[in-house]
């Protein structure tokens, strides 16, 4: 008989408090994310503001903390003034980032109203491509200044008497990428971002700013870009951004082990930021905003004619994608000491957990479920479990067959384990939770299935969904649980 996988969770092995902003998402003016995703005034379920209520319901259920807006690559060519004021006077523009026509029927005022209905907060973005530090500070003034200036009074005239109180701002997007409108090198970007951050914080000293890190780990300038940008901005910004997407390149085990690569990406940038801290003799520790992460089949992109809201990058996620995705989400928890914000890119239609039909139905994609349960059950402190598990050989080196995250909710008295089994074999888990005293297992959720390529469709919306398993209700400090091969599991205990 093979050995069980031993998981020992110790109350004192703290990684850090899980910041609720780790479960944030992203809405970009891209494809059908905004138009026919969040906003579709002609839809039968649209409310008085033109927002799709079926989408709002699913966003609320998902448990999203903040939503990053308005981009993405779109941000670097966007003039926020185009999206305010009477809708019939707003300009139609070419969006050069995604080669689409932007009707500007949805802007910061509409997004603010949408977020209030969705129960989320805004993570704003300022344009560092065609935009200036002045434009950036003026957007902060428009949104957050109480009144008595031209811009704050304009917001009041546009229907928002009270300040929007947007506390978190991205200073540009992926400025290291040559695909970015008005891309800059690290020195030019660092200097511009510094001046923007200063002006934005002088306008509102309660805000926090995120400076652009490398667009991905495969950039030739990674991690030198991050070092240079941080050296220029360190004392004036609060977070460095990280972006990372994964796709299946043919080997399922490698794909499932993407969490290993994400883990080393985070470790590299942590070391880079700590180098800058030492070099600058700073007392301040830099934290991270992982503000784009997901599974994304980037090789599937096709050209399209100029039009409004085309179907762009609407990946359909399989069970296998959802398993890989769960490992990425767990990695954020396992780095809770340094990651304070993370955005699942994106929220609706565009590489998203929620998919709509124009004028029609809405479904939860497979990735919806891991995000929902990670967000719901990761309140508290992330703990570092000691796990004895078989290893699998992957392109990222040896990876744990059973990858684990643990969260202790001191207030509610819950211990939650998330276990991803990337091996084909069933595993018996031997769980040692002695440091918590006696506990009762109160919930078990399993995401698994015979067909890894299964997806949810509009006609079969629940083809892939997690199962709630029975729990035996015994009170103990040691538990056993069998998990199937290729499965994601949530095991939740209540301290007695
Ligand atoms: O999320 C899709 C795109 O991916 C974003 O616009 C960009 O920032 C990234 O390259």
Q: What is the tens place of the pLDDT at every residue in 128-157? A: 999 999 999 999 999 999 999 999 999 999
Question: Above pLDDT 90, what percent of the chain?
Answer: 98
Looking at the domain that runs over 5-11+383-495, which CATH code has it been given? 2.60.40.1180
| Best mutation site among 24, 27, 72 for ligand 1 pocket (most ligand atoms within 8 Å of CB) | 72
Give catalytic status of residue 443 as yes or no: no
Higher-confidence residue of 54 and 473: namely 54
Segments making up each domain of the chain, as ranges: 5-11+383-495, 19-378
Annotated catalytic residue within 40, 102, 110, 292 = 292
Most distant CA pair in the chain, distance: 75
Q: Calculate how far, in angstroms, residue 73's C-alpha sits from the geometric centre of ligand 1.
A: 6
Annotated catalytic residue within 40, 102, 141, 174 = 174
Q: Calculate how far, in angstroms, residue 434's C-alpha sits from the geometric centre of ligand 1.
A: 44
Q: Is 0.95 surpassed by the pTM of this model?
A: yes
Angle at CA 378, nearest 5°, toward 373 and 379? Answer: 130
Give catalytic status of residue 174 as yes or no: yes
What pLDDT is stored for residue 304 in this prediction?
A: 87
Say if ligand 1 is within 6 A of residue 375 CB. Answer: no
Mean pLDDT of all residues in the chain? Answer: 97
Q: Please state the atom number of ligand 1 nearest to the C-alpha of residue 75.
A: 6
Q: Please state the atom number of ligand 1 nearest to the C-alpha of residue 71.
A: 6
Q: Is 431 exposed, middle or buried (0-12, 13-18, 19+ CB in 10 A)?
A: buried
Pairing of strands 168-171, 208-211: parallel
* Sequence-ordered list of residues with C-beta below 8 angstroms from that of 104, at least 6 positions apart, any chain: 82, 83, 87, 90, 91, 92, 93
CA–CA dist 350, 347 (Å, integer): 7
Say if ligand 1 is within 6 A of residue 73 CB. Answer: yes
For tokens 């301290």, name the residue: 495
Q: pLDDT of 261-292, one tens digit each?
A: 999 999 999 999 999 999 999 999 999 999 99
Q: Calculate how far, in angstroms, residue 72's C-alpha sits from the geometric centre of ligand 1.
A: 5
Residue 313 in 3-state DSSP? coil
Q: Calculate how far, in angstroms, residue 6's C-alpha sits from the geometric centre of ligand 1.
A: 39
Sequential DSSP letters for 405-416: EEEEETTTTEEE
Per CATH, the homologous superfamily of domain 19-378 is Glycosidases (3.20.20.80)
Pairing of strands 427-432, 478-483: antiparallel
Using CA atoms, how far residue 229 sits from 143, 171, 191, 288, 459, in Å, is 27, 12, 8, 14, 48
Query: Do residues 433 and 479 touch, judged by C-beta distance below 8 A?
Result: yes
Structure tokens at 421: 């089994």
* Domain 5-11+383-495 identical in fold to domain 19-378: no
Q: Please state the atom number of ligand 1 nearest to the C-alpha of residue 346.
A: 1
Alpha helices in 102-185 (DSSP H): 108-118, 133-144, 150-157
CA–CA dist 116, 49 (Å, integer): 12
Ligand 1, atom 5: closest residue by C-alpha: 72
What pLDDT is stored for residue 301 in this prediction?
A: 75
Pairing of strands 439-447, 487-495: antiparallel
Q: Please state the atom number of ligand 1 nearest to the C-alpha of residue 173.
A: 8
CA–CA dist 148, 126 (Å, integer): 23
């Amino acid at each position: 008989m093979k050995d069980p996988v031993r998981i020992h969770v110790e109350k004192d092995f703290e990684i850090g408090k899980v910041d609720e902003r780790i479960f944030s998402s992203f809405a970009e003016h891209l494809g059908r994310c905004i138009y026919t995703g969040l906003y579709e005034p002609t839809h039968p379920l649209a409310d008085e503001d033109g927002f799709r209520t079926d989408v709002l319901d699913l966003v609320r259920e998902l448990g999203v903390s903040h939503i990053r807006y308005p981009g993405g690559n779109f941000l670097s060519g966007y003039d926020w003034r185009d999206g305010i004021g009477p809708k019939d006077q707003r300009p139609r523009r070419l969006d050069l980032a995604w080669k689409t026509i932007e009707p500007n029927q949805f802007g910061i005022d509409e997004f603010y109203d949408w977020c209030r209905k969705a129960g989320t907060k805004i993570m704003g973005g300022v344009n560092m491509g065609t935009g200036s530090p002045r434009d950036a500070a003026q957007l902060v003034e428009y949104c957050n200044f109480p009144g008595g200036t031209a811009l704050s009074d304009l917001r009041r005239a546009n229907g928002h008497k009270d300040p929007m109180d947007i506390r978190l701002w991205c200073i540009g997007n992926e400025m290291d990428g040559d695909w970015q409108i008005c891309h800059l090198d690290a020195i030019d970007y660092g200097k511009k971002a510094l001046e923007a951050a200063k002006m934005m914080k002088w306008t509102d000293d309660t805000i926090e700013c995120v400076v652009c890190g490398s667009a991905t780990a495969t950039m030739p300038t990674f991690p030198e870009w991050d070092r240079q940008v941080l050296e220029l901005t360190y004392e004036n910004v609060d977070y460095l951004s990280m972006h990372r997407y994964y796709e299946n390149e043919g080997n399922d085990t490698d794909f499932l082990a993407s969490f290993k690569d994400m883990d080393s990406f985070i470790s590299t940038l942590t070391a880079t930021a700590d180098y800058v801290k030492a070099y600058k003799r700073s007392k301040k520790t830099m934290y991270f905003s992982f503000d784009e992460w997901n599974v994304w089949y980037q090789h599937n992109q096709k050209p399209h004619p100029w039009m409004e809201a085309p179907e762009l990058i609407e990946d359909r996620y399989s069970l296998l994608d959802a398993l890989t995705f769960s490992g990425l989400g767990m990695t954020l928890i396992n780095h809770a000491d340094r990651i304070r914000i993370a955005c699942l890119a994106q929220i609706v239609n565009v590489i998203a957990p929620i998919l709509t039909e124009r004028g029609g139905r809405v479904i939860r994609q497979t990735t919806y479920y891991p995000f929902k349960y990670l967000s719901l059950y990761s309140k508290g402190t992330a703990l570092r479990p000691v796990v004895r598990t078989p290893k699998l050989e992957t392109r990222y080196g040896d990876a744990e067959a059973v990858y684990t995250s643990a969260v202790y909710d001191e207030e509610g008295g819950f211990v939650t384990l998330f276990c991803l089994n990337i091996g084909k074999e069933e595993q018996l888990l031997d769980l040692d939770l002695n440091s918590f005293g006696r506990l009762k297992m109160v919930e078990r959720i399993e995401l698994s299935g015979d067909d890894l390529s299964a997806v949810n469709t509009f006609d079969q919306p629940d083809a892939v969904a997690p199962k709630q398993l029975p729990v035996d209700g015994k009170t103990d400090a040691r538990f056993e649980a069998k998990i199937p091969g290729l499965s994601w599991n949530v095991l939740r205990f209540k301290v007695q």
